[in-house]
Amino acid sequence: MFSLSKIPGALILAVLAGSGAAWAQTFFGAYYNGPMGQANLYTISPVNSSAALIGPMHAETVSAMAFALDRTTLYAIGQTNSTGFALLRVSIATGAGTVVGPTGLFAPCQDMDFRPSDGTLFAYCEGRIFTVALATGMSTFLGDTGKFPNGNALAFSSSNILYNANESTLDIINQSDGSVTSSIPLNYNPAFGGGARANAMKFHPNGTLYASIVGSGQTGQKWSLGIINTSTGVVTFVGAMVQGTDALAIGNAGLGPSATPVPSSWLLVTIGILCAALYQKMRRGERPLGPVSRLR
């Protein structure tokens, strides 16, 4: 029997760090609903866009959602009876939203996201860009994009570029005054339906930009998960989502199959530790230790 105490700590940490990379992200979506109806929180499969209900969010008109920089604390903006449109801290276990404070806004936010460099929360509301204080929920106006088309998803890249996507273009937003600095046309796959537009989007840590897309089908509106190529503007179809999905977030949350290390990850961890222990024994020429070793 070998002892883990014989394995260098740095080597164990390296093996475990490698296994951590195999932990998948969890995708969350909020069913928008509207006045007089509660929004619901779901987990969403990034592979086929299937959804699993977590629970009601205790707010209406939830159309903006994002994880803080810790990628475990989930925030949203929704309408509540007592505070109007408020910043919410959302439980990923139950879906329930706790009010942080009123935003001071009189209309829904189309989307929101945190700036990676400093954790500032940005929100898009009817063509205007705001920052939102995490301590109080209060919003501060930065500037106007100069347009308010359909859709209006918002997301920060890992390099602090703020993107806004709508029915026709993927725009880069100036973070000082909210203006559009550059645009490329979006090319939606026909599978999204007519009049397709992105109503929510977030970057995966691997750099992939996922989006909730709403379009029109033969029986009415349809919601789908898509991937936006930020270089070409091509929007790839992933699959159909829950009707009414209007907010998207991606985080390191321990829920659902996507947040569990795949079996191969556990196997690699075990093999790594065993090989490290065996190597140390062979290098030092040690004999196997008994059940009790002498303290040093």
Place of tokens 């880069």: 172
The pLDDT > 70 percentage for the chain reads: 75
Identify the pLDDT of residue 76. Answer: 98
CATH number of the domain at 44, please.
2.120.10.30
8 and 84 belong to one structural domain: no
Residues 246 and 280 occupy one common structural domain: no
**Domain-located, residue 296:** no
Residues 8, 132, single domain; the answer is no
DSSP helix, strand, coil percent of the chain (3-state; round to 5): 15, 45, 40
Specify whether 16 is located in the same domain as 84: no
Q: Is residue 93 part of a domain?
A: yes
Whether 154 and 7 share a structural domain: no
Residues 268 and 180 in one domain: no
Examine residue 295 and state whether it is found in any structural domain, yes or no: no
Characterize the bridge pairing of strands 209-217 and 194-203: antiparallel
- The sign of the CA dihedral 261, 256, 166, 60 is negative
Residue 78 located in a structural domain = yes
Q: Same structural domain for residues 43 and 186? A: yes
Question: Looking at the domain assignment, is residue 14 inside a domain?
Answer: yes
Rounded Cα–Cα distance for residues 109 and 124 (Å): 6
* pTM check: above 0.85: no
Looking at the fold, whether 275 and 140 belong to one and the same domain comes out as: no
Q: Are residues 108 and 8 in the same domain?
A: no
Same domain, 47 and 183: yes
Point out the residues of the chain with pLDDT beneath 50: 1-23, 255-273, 275, 279, 286-296
**Alpha-carbon distances, residue 209 vs 27, 46, 275, 279, 288 (angstroms):** 12, 11, 38, 42, 51
The pLDDT score that the predictor gives to residue 100 is: 97
Q: Into how many domains does the chain fold?
A: 2
Q: Is residue 101 part of a domain?
A: yes
Residue 136 lies in a domain: yes
Q: Are residues 114 and 240 in the same domain?
A: yes
Structural domain that includes position 88: 26-259
Domain-located, residue 64: yes
Q: Are residues 8 and 105 in the same domain?
A: no
Nearest to 62 by CA among 27, 93, 87, 45: 87
- Of 180, 77, 31, the closest CA to residue 166 belongs to 180
